[in-house]
Chains A and B, each alone.
Chain A
Amino acid sequence: MSYLVLDRISKRFGGFSALSNISLSVERGTARAVLGENGAGKTTLMNVLFGLYRPTEGSIQIDGKAVSFRSPADAIINGVGMIHQHMHLAEALTVTENIVLGLGGLHSPLNLRRHSAKIAALSERYGLAVEPDQPVWKLPIGMRQRVEILKMLYRGAKILVLDEPTSVLAPNEIDSFLERVKALRDDGTTILFVTHKLDEVMRIADAVSVMRHGQLVAERDIGHTDVRQLSRLMVGRDVEPVRIPRLAAPGDPVLECVDLVARGERGLTALDRVSLTIRQGEILGVAGIDGNGQSELAEIICGLRKPESGSIRAGAAEITGLGVSARMRGSRIGFVPEDRHGTGLVLDHSIATNFVLRSFRRRPVSRLGLINARFIAEQARRMMKRYDVRSRSPAQPARELSGGNQQKIILAREIEAGPEILIVMQATKGLDVGAIEFVQRKILEARDRGVAVLYISTELEHVAEVADRIAVMHRGRFTGEVLPGQATAEHIGLLMSGLSVGEQR
């Protein structure tokens, strides 16, 4: 009998079936990859295993014993630990406090010093370096992840669930991270490794389970499969990257930023003298790990945030002092924000209303201060057709659509406004392959019409697919600029983690 058995697990949210009838068995001390696209149900399955979701049907056995988890506390008692993609740490508390949280009796004194020493020993043993007395918000993201792992090991986790653990790491951090995970496995820990990255599966897993649309579609031993086969199993068809050959060479500079300086949420420097130029009909890609100043850069160019110093020119005009609406009207800046739900859409409003968020004050959308409902409905129908937004009707609230369709609404609104400059942030994040292809195609078409595009994304492969040049950001600075196709992922990875090429490791 296998060590961990998930038996015919199903999970429904209201009418939506997130998991249907999934069975999975994993041997003790092995690493199992759970592979699938975004939305395939991988994380939902793991949340069931960790007691975060109650399964609608099905059961779990560990070491031959049936278990039922009402909460993570139950899962932890039974030796299951989970490292979430978006880390579950209290940022204001220290590393040690986060690790000992929930351990021991209620009135037991904390005795942080004794715990600190034990944590240090554990971190030494597995090569997971952390700073026990620092508050978590001060730590780099890679270290936060190590804190999460230590937190679970400290609770005696025998089964470690890692949910997309590498998505927050720079390429060169990934190597050492995977080594640590292998060491844990060799030490007898059972690993469940959730990912959509094929190379990681091949490197770390003993076997792989492939999920699609909430179902388990295949299971393979690593020795009996390869990347091409797994890719086909994951997507359900062969994928070809989008490539639209450019029609014309880039023209005159349209957007020029000089020496932008900005502070972030906690008063730390978010942008440190960033300068960039984008020409007509050119896409500048910005690669980098989340939180290295990309959001601040985009917001400053759109006028949502004031720089401490520096200047922005759009065409011939200085726009540094202008507000958001002046920039959108005068210099025609379009913005596809990273926070689709909070900044990009009014979720509870209709698709049609969301299309006119930029233009409702002007003719023909409104006249003499009155909204022209008929025009808005007609325009919505036109735009939905052109941008392939799939829904019941233009009156449907944006909240009810899938992420891909939501993104298409934003993209349609911003591109059809006819901008000279288009700022696009995380355009493809969380979308399925079909939607990614569509979004990229629309952006490339805009480029061919002469729009200057700033394409900011943490997904390096997508930046490389559309950008003419790639600037790499780290800690609020550009650490280098490369041409796609001429730089290896490793080289870009080093730039992402702030090392210049000369000082490799």
Chain B
Amino acid sequence: MSFLPDISLIAVLLASGVRLATPIGFAALGGVLAERSGVYNVGLEGMMLWGAFGAAAGTYLTGSPVAGLVAGVLLGAVAGLLLALLCVGLAVNQLVAGIAINLLCAGLTAFLARALFGLAGGGTAVSGFASLPVPYLSGLPLIGTALFNQDPLVYMLPVLVAVVTICLYRTQAGLRLRAAGESPRAADSAGVNVTAVRYVSLALSGAFAAAGGCHLVLCQVYIFSEGMSAGKGFIALAAIILGRWHPVGAVVAALFFGLCDALQLQLQFSNPLVPYQIFLILPFAASLVALVWFNKGARQPAATGMVFDREAR
């Protein structure tokens, strides 16, 4: 059972790790935006699923994966707005609202998928994005395939991380978002519309999570299946904490979980005699261990999870 890992094996592992990390990274980035503005987005899992369905449906109906991506992201934004309506507009408990979104998305996508793609067990395959190797760089040993021979969404993630980071820390909009999550009362009395900030953040959050779902369909399996997000949205929640509510940190944490996932797949293949469920545990166990290990000093935005009511006495 022992093997000396050779370079090519590690390169394959890295490449699949990056690919598997991408959906988690998108969702975690969305989660950072939501929690930084003061709202837990426990609905990441459902929004991801919703995005995956949107991508499949959009591509199936138009034949264009780009249209699928747009459809998925838009549906995600709508789901984000629904969460905002529930827990900002109607002051429903944020965790309950998030769980409701997860259940709603699971049920609705299953229903709509059967209506649209028929009852055939395998579903209907759709076209997607092929990988775009970067000339010269994709030939680099070890990291060439992992970083420079991937699909367009993988390349998009670091760009979005940079944009979000700059917006969050270098613009007035980002300052307002952070202030809404730290002290909505302070933001409010400085003339910031806290409600509007949170609606926009949650719409973006839903869009990002859905983009993660789009990656599953358009770049990984080219088919929609029920419950295909398979807990990635919840791992993204762990990645947010592990990444200290920072966009870069959250995506790096997502990468760690993606690598764990790739490793467990590799172990499944190389150990066919061991029940594969044992290895499936790995990413979840890693997230538990990492959370316990790195929990010290983690400080979430002070007002996350709390309803803001200006006239509350």
Contacts and interface: CB of A to CB of B under 8 A. Distances in A.
Contact of B172 (A53, A84, A92, A103): A103
**Residue of A73, A90, A155 with most chain B CB atoms under a 10 A cut-off:** A90
B188 A93 contact: no
**Residue of B176, B186, B189 with most chain A CB atoms under a 10 A cut-off:** B189
A101 B175 contact: yes
A148 to B, nearest CB: 9
A107 B182 contact: no
Given A71-B193, A88-B183, A102-B192, A13 B175 contact: no
A90 B171 contact: no
Interface residues of B, number: 27
A105 B171 CA distance: 9
A457 to B, nearest CB: 23
Given A53-B311, A105-B172, A110-B171, A91 B187 contact: no
B206 interface: no
B190 interface: yes
A353 B34 CA distance: 40
**Residue of B174, B175, B311 with most chain A CB atoms under a 10 A cut-off:** B175
A107 B191 contact: no
A89 B172 contact: no
Interface string B271-313: 0000000000000000000000000000101100000001101
A76 B188 CA distance: 11
Chain B binding surface, main DSSP class: helix
A9 to B, nearest CB: 15
B146 to A, nearest CB: 34
Contact of A110 (B175, B179, B183, B191): B175
A72 B190 contact: yes
Contacts of B302: 90-92
Interface string B156-177: 0000000000000111111110
A116 to B, nearest CB: 14
A76 B173 contact: no
Contacts of A15: none
Contact of A71 (B172, B191, B301): B191
B182 A92 contact: yes
B178 interface: yes
B178 A88 contact: no
A289 B176 CA distance: 31
Interface in A106-131: 106-110
A208 to B, nearest CB: 26
8 contacts: A53-B310, A73-B191, A88-B189, A101-B187, A102-B187, A106-B171, A106-B172, A106-B176
Interface of A: 13, 50, 52-53, 71-73, 76-77, 82, 84, 88-93, 97-98, 100-110, 151, 155
Given A108-B171, A109-B172, 16 more contacts: A52-B311, A71-B193, A71-B310, A72-B191, A76-B191, A88-B186, A88-B189, A90-B182, A98-B179, A101-B187, A101-B190, A104-B172, A105-B172, A107-B173, A109-B170, A110-B175
| Leading 5 A-B pairs by shortest Cβ distance | A73-B191, A90-B183, A90-B182, A102-B190, A102-B191
